[in-house]
C-alpha cells in the first residue's frame, strides 16, 4: 500500500515536471521583440517564387493541375533580371512599414535561399544563382527593417512529405512518404534560416490547415527555433487557437475575431500580439491579369481598423518574374507612407482603443493620449462613451485646431465645424 502511494506521488511529480518541461516561457529578449512588433503596426508581405513566372498566383501548380516534374522546370528559366534588394527595401520603407515577411519557401517547396538540404533552391537550380534572401537580409539590416520569414509546412514536391488535402496532382511517389525524414529536413532548413541570415524577427508558418489532425510536432519545432534565436517570434497561420510556443497570432484576410473570409472560424482573439494579413489586389503571388487593387483609402482604413484592435497589418505584394514590384503596388505603398509620415504618431506605438471598434471608426491609446480615428461619420458631432477618463483638451491632427468638446457622466462628445470627410479624421484627446 505504502509503495503504491509512493509510486503514485512519483508519477504525479514526474507528470508535473514533464508538463513544465514542455511549457514555454518566452525570454526577456523575446518579450521585448513582441512589444517592438506590436508597436510597429505595418509590415509588408512578399510572395515571390518560381510560380511568379506563370503569372497565376502562388497556387498555380495545384490550380492548373501541374505535376511536380513539369512544374520544377520553371527553376531553370528563373532569371529575375531587375531584382534589386536595395530598391525593394527602399520601397518597403517608403510605405512606413517596419518589417518585411518574405516567402522563404512556399507550398511548391522551392527554397528562395541557398540550402544544403535540397538542390531545389534559387542558387543551385536557377541560372540566377543569387541567394536573394541573403541580399534582402543585408538590406533589411542596412535600412533597419526587421526580416520575418514565411515557411510552408506543406511541400507539393517532396516524396517524403505526407500528402494532405492539397497538391494531390503532383505525381509524388506515395510509397516514399516519411514524416521523420521530412520533419528533419524542415528543421535543418530552419537552422539554416536562423544561422545564416543574421537576426530573424519572426518565423511565419503556413499549411497546418492542410492536415489539421496530423501531429506536426510543432512544440518541438518551436523549441528548436527558440533555442537558436530566443527572440525570434513564432507565428502559425493554422487558423486555429494559439498553441504553446507561439509568440503572436495571425488572422488571414480578416480583422482579429472576424471571419468574413472563412478562415477564422472559432479563432478567438488571444492576448498575444496580433497580425492580420491581407492582399492589395486579389492574389498573394504575382497574377498577370489581377488589376483588382484595393484603393489606398480602403487599405488605410483596414490598417486603422487593425490599429484600433491593437493589431498589425501585414500587407502583401507579389513581385513579377522580372523581380519588380507591380507599379500599382509600389505607388500605393508610397501613398500609404506619405499618409503615415503625417499621421504616424496616432498609429505607431499605440495600443487597442478603450472603446470597442465602431461603424464610424476606432480609438487607440498611447501614453496620455487617446487618438480618435474617424473613418466614416455622417454627423458633425461624435459621442464617446468613456467614463473613467478625463479629457484635458482635444486637437485635430488634420489642421492642428482645437476641437470643441463636452464631458459629462455619459462620456465625451466632440463637436466639429463640419462633417469630417477625410480618409481618416484624427482627433488627439489629451487625457488623465
Ligand atoms: O500564402 C498565402 C496563401 O497561399 C496561403 N496563405 C496565404 C498567406 C493560403 N492559401 N489558402 N489558404 C492559405 C487557406 C486555404 C484553404 C483552402 Fe482548403 C485550401 C480551402 C480549400 C483549399 C483547407 C484545405 C481547406 C480545404 C482544404
The residue among 107, 111, 135 whose CA lies nearest residue 123 is 111
Q: Is-contact 333 317, C-beta < 8 A?
A: yes
Q: Does residue 410's CB lie within 6 angstroms of at least one atom of ligand 1?
A: no
Residue range 215-228: mean pLDDT, rounded: 98
Confidence of residue 4 (pLDDT cuts 50, 70, 90): low
Residue 92 predicted with pLDDT over 70 = yes
Ligand 1 within 6 A of 210 CB? yes
The span from the CA of 39 to the CA of 1, in Å, is: 58
Report whether residue 45 contacts ligand 1, using a CB cutoff of 6 Å: no
What's the rounded mean pLDDT across residues 241-251? 97
List the grid coordinates of 19: 508538463
Output the pTM of the full model.
0.94
Averaged pLDDT, 361-366: 98
pLDDT of residue 411: 95
What's the Cα-to-Cα distance from 288 to each of 58, 154, 281, 315, 320, rounded to whole Å? 12, 25, 11, 19, 8
Q: Higher-confidence residue: 10 or 126?
A: 126
CB 325 within 8 A of CB 95: no
pLDDT digit string, tens, across residues 20-60: 445 899 999 999 999 999 999 999 999 999 999 999 999 99
Ligand 1 binding pocket includes 284 (Cβ within 6 Å): yes
Q: Which atom of ligand 1 is nearest to the CA of 277?
A: 8
Residue 365 CA, ligand 1 centroid: distance in Å: 34
Ligand 1 center from residue 239 Cα (angstroms): 10
Verify whether ligand 1 is closer than 6 Å to residue 62 (CB atom): no
Give tens-digit pLDDT for 146-181: 999 999 999 999 999 999 999 999 999 999 999 999
- How does residue 238 score in pLDDT terms, banded at 50, 70 and 90? very high
Quote the CA–CA distance of 384 and 353 in Å, as a whole number: 11
Indicate if the pLDDT at residue 380 is higher than 50: yes
Look at domain 27-350 and name its CATH class: alpha beta
Q: Is 108 in the pocket of ligand 1 (CB under 6 A)?
A: no
DSSP label at 111?
B
11 pLDDT exceeds 50?
A: no
CA–CA separation, 57 vs 81, rounded Å? Answer: 20
Q: What is the structure's pLDDT at 22?
A: 59
Domain map (residue ranges) of the chain: 27-350, 361-431
* Bridging pattern class, strands 425-431 and 369-374: antiparallel
pLDDT of residue 387: 86
Which three-class secondary structure state does DSSP give residue 193? helix
> 342 pLDDT exceeds 60?
yes
Average pLDDT score over residue span 341-370: 97
With bands split at pLDDT 50, 70 and 90, how would you rate the model's confidence at 234? very high
- 156 CA distance to ligand 1 middle (Å): 13
Whole-number average pLDDT of the chain = 95
Span from the CA of 206 to the centroid of ligand 1 (angstroms): 9
Q: What is the mean pLDDT of residues 279-294?
A: 98
What integer is the mean pLDDT of 272-295?
98
pLDDT tens string 101-118:
999 999 999 999 999 999
Residue of 63, 107, 209, 263 best suited for mutating to test ligand 1, as the one with most atoms within 8 Å of CB: 209
Give the number of the atom of ligand 1 that is nearest the alpha carbon of residue 150. Answer: 1
Tell me which of 2.60.40.1180, 2.60.40.10, 3.40.50.1100, 3.40.630.30 is the CATH number of domain 361-431: 2.60.40.1180
Contact between 194 and 229 under an 8 Å Cβ cutoff? The reply is: yes
Q: How far is the CA of 210 from the centre of ligand 1 (A)?
A: 8
Q: 243 alpha carbon to ligand 1 midpoint, in Å?
A: 19
Q: For residue 314, give the C-alpha cell.
A: 501585414
Cα 378 to middle of ligand 1, angstroms: 38
The DSSP line for 334-357 is HHHHHHHHHHGGGTTT-EE-SS--
Q: Whose CA is nearest to atom 18 of ligand 1?
A: 210
pLDDT digits 0-9 by tens, 185-218: 999 999 999 999 999 999 999 999 999 999 999 9
Residue 347 has pLDDT above 60, yes or no: yes
The CA distance from 21 to 97, in Å, is: 37
Long-range contacts of 326-333 (CB under 8 A, 24+ apart): 326/286, 328/281, 328/291, 328/293, 329/280, 329/281, 329/293, 330/91, 332/280, 332/293, 332/296, 332/299, 333/44, 333/91, 333/92, 333/94, 333/95, 333/97
Quick check: 221 pLDDT over 90?
yes
Amino acid at each position: 500500500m505504502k509503495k503504491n502511494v509512493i509510486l503514485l506521488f512519483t508519477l504525479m511529480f514526474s507528470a508535473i515536471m514533464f508538463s513544465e518541461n514542455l511549457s514555454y516561457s518566452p525570454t526577456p529578449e523575446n518579450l521585448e521583440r513582441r512589444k517592438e512588433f506590436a508597436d510597429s503596426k505595418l509590415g509588408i508581405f512578399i510572395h515571390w517564387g518560381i510560380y511568379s513566372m506563370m503569372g497565376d498566383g502562388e497556387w498555380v501548380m495545384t490550380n492548373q493541375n501541374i505535376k511536380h516534374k513539369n512544374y520544377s522546370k520553371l527553376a531553370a528559366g528563373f532569371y529575375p533580371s531587375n531584382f534589386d534588394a536595395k530598391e525593394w527595401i527602399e520601397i518597403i520603407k517608403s510605405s512606413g512599414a517596419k518589417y518585411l515577411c518574405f516567402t522563404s519557401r512556399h507550398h511548391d517547396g522551392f527554397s528562395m535561399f541557398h540550402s544544403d538540404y535540397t538542390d531545389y533552391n534559387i542558387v543551385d537550380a536557377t541560372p540566377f544563382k543569387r541567394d536573394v534572401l541573403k541580399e534582402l537580409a543585408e538590406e533589411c539590416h542596412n535600412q533597419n527593417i526587421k526580416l520575418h520569414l514565411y515557411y510552408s509546412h506543406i511541400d507539393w514536391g517532396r516524396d517524403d512529405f505526407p500528402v494532405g488535402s492539397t497538391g494531390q496532382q503532383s505525381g509524388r511517389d506515395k510509397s516514399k512518404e516519411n514524416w521523420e525524414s521530412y520533419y528533419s529536413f524542415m528543421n535543418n532548413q530552419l537552422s539554416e534560416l536562423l544561422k545564416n541570415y543574421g537576426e530573424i524577427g519572426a518565423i511565419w508558418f503556413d499549411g497546418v490547415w492542410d492536415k489539421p489532425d496530423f501531429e506536426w510536432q510543432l512544440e518541438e519545432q518551436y523549441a528548436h527555433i527558440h533555442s537558436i534565436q530566443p527572440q525570434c517570434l513564432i507565428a502559425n497561420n493554422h487558423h486555429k487557437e494559439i498553441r504553446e510556443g507561439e509568440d503572436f497570432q495571425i488572422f488571414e484576410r480578416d480583422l482579429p475575431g472576424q471571419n468574413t473570409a472563412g478562415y477564422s472560424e472559432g479563432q478567438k482573439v488571444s492576448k498575444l500580439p496580433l497580425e492580420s494579413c491581407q492582399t492589395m489586389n486579389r492574389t498573394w503571388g504575382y497574377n498577370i491579369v489581377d488589376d483588382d487593387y484595393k484603393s489606398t483609402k480602403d487599405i488605410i482604413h483596414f490598417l486603422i481598423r487593425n490599429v484600433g484592435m491593437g493589431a498589425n497589418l501585414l500587407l502583401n505584394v507579389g513581385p513579377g518574374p522580372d523581380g519588380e514590384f507591380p507599379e500599382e503596388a509600389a505607388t500605393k505603398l508610397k501613398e500609404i507612407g506619405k499618409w503615415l509620415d503625417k499621421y504616424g504618431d496616432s498609429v505607431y506605438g499605440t495600443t487597442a482603443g478603450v472603446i470597442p471598434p465602431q461603424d464610424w471608426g476606432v480609438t487607440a491609446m498611447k501614453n496620455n493620449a487617446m487618438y480618435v480615428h474617424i473613418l466614416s461619420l455622417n454627423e458633425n458631432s461624435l459621442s464617446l462613451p468613456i467614463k473613467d477618463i478625463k479629457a484635458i483638451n482635444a486637437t485635430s491632427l488634420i489642421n492642428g485646431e482645437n476641437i470643441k468638446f463636452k464631458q459629462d457622466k455619459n462620456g465625451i462628445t466632440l463637436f466639429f465645424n463640419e462633417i469630417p470627410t477625410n480618409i481618416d479624421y484624427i482627433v488627439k484627446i489629451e487625457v488623465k
